[in-house]
Amino acid sequence: MSSDLENPMLLIGWWVSAVLFLAAAVPVVYRIVRGPTVFDRIVALDLFAGICLGIIVALAIRFDQPVFLEVAFVIALVGFLGTVALARYLERGGER
Amino acid sequence: MNILVAILMVLGALFCLIAAIGVFRMPDLYMRMHTATKAGAFGGSLLALAAAFHFGTPRAGIMAVLIIVFFYLTAPIAAQVFGVAAYRRGVPLWEDSEIDELRDAVDPSDSGKAEPSDK
């Protein structure tokens, strides 16, 4: 891997948080697949975008790339717009 | 400083995990939204803070502050719009819920009908 972190504290923190993020993705995907209504699925997808944002920020720290923070900001923006647009669409009908 | 960054990173991931468990376990949509918006936004904010401390440059700090402010400005708005939309479409509350303050404010007769034109 390029640009290895020399600090063992940071490396341990990175691995622990990576495992926690993976563990967080599992129940969210379950809710996306099984959610009884569309609304449950969208809430789970919104949280999934949040988890992706966290993973990207953690990767920015891991590989010393501050550019990834801009990516995280764009994901936050798109996630918000998508949630509000879907809510407005489903409020007026659309599928259940 | 490195220890602080590591602790913030693990805490942020932990809050994301808590939000995910809440989305998995909570009995109805509104409680799932409660955990997803609050714990999820807090986890992302902690990670942005960790990145700001790690890089220590003005650019990373500005981006982290932008992410945090944007989270806390938009998460309540999205949750409110989304909750009202779900309530209008008749998504049921948990059967043991005791307070339903929207019942009088939302007219159930027009739930789920697509309107031909904007109000």
For the stretch A26-77, pLDDT in tens is 999 999 998 788 889 999 999 999 999 999 999 999 888 889 999 999 998 9
Q: Report yes or no on A3 lying in a domain.
A: no
Residue A71: predicted pLDDT:
92
* pTM reported for the whole predicted model: 0.85
Burial degree of B57 (CB within 10 A; 0-12, 13-18, 19+): exposed
Residue A25: predicted pLDDT:
93
Instruction: Check CB contact under 8 Å for B63 and A66.
Output: yes
Distance of alpha carbon B111 from alpha carbon B118, whole angstroms: 16
Instruction: Check CB contact under 8 Å for B60 and A69.
Output: yes
Distance of alpha carbon B50 from alpha carbon B31, whole angstroms: 29
Residue B116: predicted pLDDT:
46
pLDDT bucket at B107, cuts 50 / 70 / 90: low
Q: Report yes or no on A40 lying in a domain.
A: yes
Residue A44: predicted pLDDT:
92
Spell out the domains of chain B, with CATH numbers in brackets: 2-93 (1.10.287)
- Residue B114: is its pLDDT beyond 60? no
Distance of alpha carbon B22 from alpha carbon A84, whole angstroms: 22
Q: Report yes or no on A24 lying in a domain.
A: yes
B21 contact residues in A (CB cutoff 8 A): 24, 27
- Residue B19: is its pLDDT beyond 90? yes
- Residue B58: is its pLDDT beyond 80? yes
- Cβ proximity of B23 and A28 under 8 Å: yes
Instruction: Check CB contact under 8 Å for A54 and B86.
Output: no
Please give the mean pLDDT across all residues of chain B.
84
Instruction: Check CB contact under 8 Å for A30 and B24.
Output: yes
Query: What ipTM was assigned to the predicted interfaces of this complex?
Result: 0.86
Distance from CA of B96 to the nearest CA of A (A): 18
How many structural domains compose chain A? 1
